[in-house]
Chain A
């Protein structure tokens, strides 16, 4: 895994962004640490009696993290949330280490509303270490993205993606599986 991802930029250098980060951390009840890339609009961290565990992640502007109804949101070291990326955790979203969520990517483990006559079903989402999620991709409930997998920009993922696979299309299917994992997984 590469040490510093270009998407991380010059994260968290200014005093202002550190202060804002501390404020967001306290307000959102975040466990662990994160650095802000700086800039507006500020990220929104919404924690409604749930747990958000972040270990040394980089958060760009306009990111939204939302844990609700006892949901758990985890993200490992070196993970980067690029501009406008959004994670909705109503049950459990586990993001590994060195993952990059591209601009406006959306990860949801819930449908947010039940279909009339049905029940709301929340299923956990897992994103493996070193996976790269393309710009504006959408990952829905119950999906497991393998370590070192790549999800094409703008696609909708409703099925599991194996380790080291490239997935694309709408809805996404596996395009190819690499012999060697692109990020050293």
Chain B
């Protein structure tokens, strides 16, 4: 790790992982087009980072076991500092998936900018943007060209196919607005 990266890491270190996790993340560094201190904490299998014909950028990110970041065709994935993706979460980008800073993404989610049905990169409508400090519960499917606003909360097991306003709480299949989060 270069000095600049180290300083960046110290500045944005919101969540701390063990040195072993950073070592495991460091082993994955070549798969990213730009990577901060990626951590791959405890357990097996290691996260799969598959840029294919696209590119994947990540800041100070925690990728838990079984996480997969896949670009279909020339898709791009960018994940901001302080975000973590919990166990077995899948991200598929046909065009662009952008996840902001300090997001909490629980386990076994499927996040894709395709419609979640046709995983053909040619038919992808547009970018999927998850803004800062979004909290996504376990086992959600988030599919389509949409934006999840800053600080929104998506309840577990929801299906999100449209925009979620900032600080909203959504739940259900398909997800509906529950309340404003203040």
Contact = CB atoms under 8 A, between A and B. Distances in A.
A104 B108 contact: yes
Contact of B118 (A41, A61, A132, A136): A132
Q: How large is the interface on B (under 10, 10 to 19, 20 to 34, 35 or more residues)?
A: 20 to 34
Contact of B120 (A5, A10, A169): A5
A170 B141 CA distance: 14
B45 interface: yes
B116 A134 contact: yes
A1 to B, nearest CB: 11
A83 interface: yes
B119 A5 contact: yes
Nearest to B88: A84
B139 A136 contact: yes
Given A6-B122, A154-B141, A103 B117 contact: no
A96 interface: no
A6 B94 contact: yes
A9 B50 contact: yes
Interface stretch (A28-36, A108-116, A145-153): A145-153
B116 A102 contact: yes
Top 4 A-B pairs, shortest CB-CB distance: A153-B116, A7-B119, A134-B117, A6-B72
20 contacts: A5-B119, A5-B120, A6-B73, A9-B50, A39-B45, A62-B66, A100-B119, A104-B108, A104-B110, A132-B117, A134-B116, A135-B110, A136-B139, A151-B117, A152-B117, A153-B110, A153-B115, A153-B161, A154-B141, A155-B159
Contacts of B15: none
Given A40-B45, A104-B108, A134-B143, A150 B118 contact: yes
